[in-house]
Chains A and B, each alone.
Chain A
């Protein structure tokens, strides 16, 4: 009896001391003077590991700690509207435009681009290899209705999902109608999981190149990796443009707008752009993302620039003047 009492009492004392210590630790009694910048980002940028690399470099230059929250573009924008993020990194121009025009965002910058790819089984039952995206989707629908293949859709309101919906529209279909058909599978998951499902069903899907390469088994069957091949990777319709938008400080109290501007400045600096360009070279022998700043400024590839202007500009501009805040230097 006595021993039990001692154990119980000492336990309670330990609990109290630990609670005080831990609370002090976490509530910032030992916190540094660095400011914190919360960035809600699309998974396709985050899952490739690019942002980790940018983070290390940025944090060594600025006294700002980056907090990345990796979600789909849809949720990233939702976070920003609720005031839970200081900056968003997304790839969905039409939703970015709404976000800006609704007054939630400022200082949008296009930071990078690449192309989506349509991947599928090596034997390619729909025979889409080398076709244009529109032709490829038509073949897939036809073959799907003949029960010879399946299509896996992200179905999660991400930027990639938006792209898929618009591709179906361009090809003459309505994605919500297709989703009732048996060959059309809605994953409701991130890119990695979606690729895994497509791999299991030997199905076709739309993927961003970065995640696809991270998952590809390079000819050696490996658990958790996929053997789907890139079948369509060319065409204006597959363009994928990444934008950075600072959250308007009037959205919510306590937003770190200054930090957001600093990060945008870093992303469009020569250093940041070079890092984006070189990322992936070591591991995959190719870049996963291409820097967009110099391209747009110098118009080095007029065709590509016109594609980006068509697809990702808002009212003919990267960021309409009234949303540039007091930072015209970002656009010169």
Chain B
């Protein structure tokens, strides 16, 4: 049996290097959709995380634990909730973004927001408090001192972005239920893997799995590399 898996692997590599247009189309779409979702989650997550990390206020712990708890939200659960909201007969049906890439983007952005917020918050909190004090001693304003703390935590920022992107591109529930796996429109890597497996086309599924794993690994290595050079 293991030989067949190897054979499948070999055929899959062949498929990847023969430049199959569908394969590249799906891969590009996956990266675009999940990349945009990551950007969105950073746009609204980072300011929140900076406030959570720098300011002290009532209820801060509750908000932080809420985001920590949401780290593990099941993607199918979120997919179902979003489907019901975005369905034509749902409260947000008028937006008409069900079965469209923008629907997946928003869904994935919501899915990964807890990761973005939690990771960035803890990165900021882990910066030595003396840096802020030092900045202030050197005559910096409160805002300026806060900026230097955020700057110091930039590697944590990068880690948050990568973890978020990897979760987004690897998730299936939201893409399937909100996107509908429509050929040429919302068909991404994970939904294609599920589809091709259920069609009995295991080789193509293996090829796509290799691509998916490669993206996740390459992105992680790249960030590691950047961090090492900076650090």
* Chain A 175-218 interface residues, beta-carbon cutoff 8 Å to B: 190-193, 211, 214-215
Most interface-central of B96, B105, B185, B198 (chain A CB within 10 A): B198
Query: In the complex the two chains form, is B182's CB within 8 Å of A68's CB?
Result: yes
**Which of B4, B87, B99, B199 is close to A214, meaning CB atoms less than 8 Å apart?**
B199
**Which of A67, A70, A222 is close to B4, meaning CB atoms less than 8 Å apart?**
A222
Query: In the complex the two chains form, is B183's CB within 8 Å of A55's CB?
Result: yes
Measured between C-beta atoms, what is the minimum distance from A75 to chain B in Å?
A: 10
**Which of B90, B105, B181 is close to A69, meaning CB atoms less than 8 Å apart?**
B181
Measured between C-beta atoms, what is the minimum distance from A154 to chain B in Å?
A: 13
Bound-state CA distance A22–B38 (Å) is 12
The residue on B at minimum CB distance from A15 is B39
Bound-state CA distance A22–B43 (Å) is 14
Query: In the complex the two chains form, is A190's CB within 8 Å of B151's CB?
Result: no
Query: In the complex the two chains form, is A26's CB within 8 Å of B100's CB?
Result: yes
Bound-state CA distance A221–B4 (Å) is 8
Measured between C-beta atoms, what is the minimum distance from A306 to chain B in Å?
A: 34
* Chain B 145-203 interface residues, beta-carbon cutoff 8 Å to A: 147-148, 150-151, 154, 180-183, 185, 195, 197-202
Query: In the complex the two chains form, is B200's CB within 8 Å of A215's CB?
Result: yes
Query: In the complex the two chains form, is B88's CB within 8 Å of A67's CB?
Result: no
Bits for A48-70, please: 1 = Cβ < 8 Å to B, else 0: 11001001000000000001111
Stretch of A4-12, A95-103, A125-133, A235-243 lying at the B interface: A4-12
Query: In the complex the two chains form, is A83's CB within 8 Å of B154's CB?
Result: no
B39 partner residues in chain A, CB cutoff 8 A: 15, 18-19, 22
Bound-state CA distance A27–B100 (Å) is 9
- The number of residues on chain A lying at the interface, defined by a beta carbon within 8 Å of a beta carbon of chain B, is 41
Interface: B98 (CB within 8 A): yes
Summarize B's interface: helix, strand, loop or mixed.
helix
A193 partner residues in chain B, CB cutoff 8 A: 198
* Chain B 1-46 interface residues, beta-carbon cutoff 8 Å to A: 1, 4-5, 7-8, 32, 36, 39-40, 42-43
Query: In the complex the two chains form, is B183's CB within 8 Å of A27's CB?
Result: no
Query: In the complex the two chains form, is B183's CB within 8 Å of A52's CB?
Result: yes
Bits for A234-266, please: 1 = Cβ < 8 Å to B, else 0: 000000000000000000111000000000000
Query: In the complex the two chains form, is B154's CB within 8 Å of A225's CB?
Result: no
Bound-state CA distance A84–B86 (Å) is 9
**Which of B40, B101, B151, B198 is close to A1, meaning CB atoms less than 8 Å apart?**
B151
Bound-state CA distance A252–B88 (Å) is 7
- The number of residues on chain B lying at the interface, defined by a beta carbon within 8 Å of a beta carbon of chain A, is 41
A43 partner residues in chain B, CB cutoff 8 A: 198
B147 partner residues in chain A, CB cutoff 8 A: 5
The residue on A at minimum CB distance from B3 is A223
B151 partner residues in chain A, CB cutoff 8 A: 1, 4-5, 8
Query: In the complex the two chains form, is B198's CB within 8 Å of A223's CB?
Result: no
Query: In the complex the two chains form, is B98's CB within 8 Å of A47's CB?
Result: no
**Which of B43, B90, B199 is close to A47, meaning CB atoms less than 8 Å apart?**
B199
Number of residue pairs spanning A and B whose beta carbons lie under 8 angstroms apart: 100
**Which of B88, B99, B198 is close to A192, meaning CB atoms less than 8 Å apart?**
B198
Measured between C-beta atoms, what is the minimum distance from B39 to chain A in Å?
A: 5
**Which of A48, A82, A222 is close to B88, meaning CB atoms less than 8 Å apart?**
A82
Query: In the complex the two chains form, is A7's CB within 8 Å of B42's CB?
Result: no
Measured between C-beta atoms, what is the minimum distance from B207 to chain A in Å?
A: 13
B185 partner residues in chain A, CB cutoff 8 A: 67
A19 partner residues in chain B, CB cutoff 8 A: 36, 39-40, 43
Measured between C-beta atoms, what is the minimum distance from A66 to chain B in Å?
A: 9
Query: In the complex the two chains form, is B4's CB within 8 Å of A69's CB?
Result: no
Bits for A70-97, please: 1 = Cβ < 8 Å to B, else 0: 1000000000001110000000000000
Bound-state CA distance A206–B217 (Å) is 41
Interface: B48 (CB within 8 A): no
Bound-state CA distance A190–B176 (Å) is 14
Interface: A224 (CB within 8 A): yes
Interface: A118 (CB within 8 A): no
Query: In the complex the two chains form, is B89's CB within 8 Å of A49's CB?
Result: no
Query: In the complex the two chains form, is B200's CB within 8 Å of A190's CB?
Result: no
A23 partner residues in chain B, CB cutoff 8 A: 102
Query: In the complex the two chains form, is A84's CB within 8 Å of B98's CB?
Result: yes
Bound-state CA distance A32–B182 (Å) is 17
Query: In the complex the two chains form, is B1's CB within 8 Å of A8's CB?
Result: no
Given A15-B39, A67-B99, A67-B180, also A82-B200 (CB < 8 A): no
**Which of A4, A7, A254 is close to B96, meaning CB atoms less than 8 Å apart?**
A254
Interface: A38 (CB within 8 A): yes
18 contacts between A and B (CB under 8 A): A4-B154, A18-B36, A19-B39, A22-B105, A43-B198, A49-B199, A69-B181, A69-B182, A70-B181, A82-B88, A84-B99, A192-B200, A214-B201, A223-B8, A225-B200, A225-B202, A252-B93, A254-B96
Supplied contacts A26-B105, A69-B181, A82-B89, 14 more A-B pairs, CB within 8 Å: A5-B151, A22-B39, A26-B101, A27-B102, A38-B99, A38-B180, A52-B183, A67-B180, A83-B87, A83-B89, A192-B197, A214-B200, A252-B89, A252-B93
Closest 5 interchain pairs by CB? A224-B202, A83-B88, A192-B198, A223-B4, A4-B151
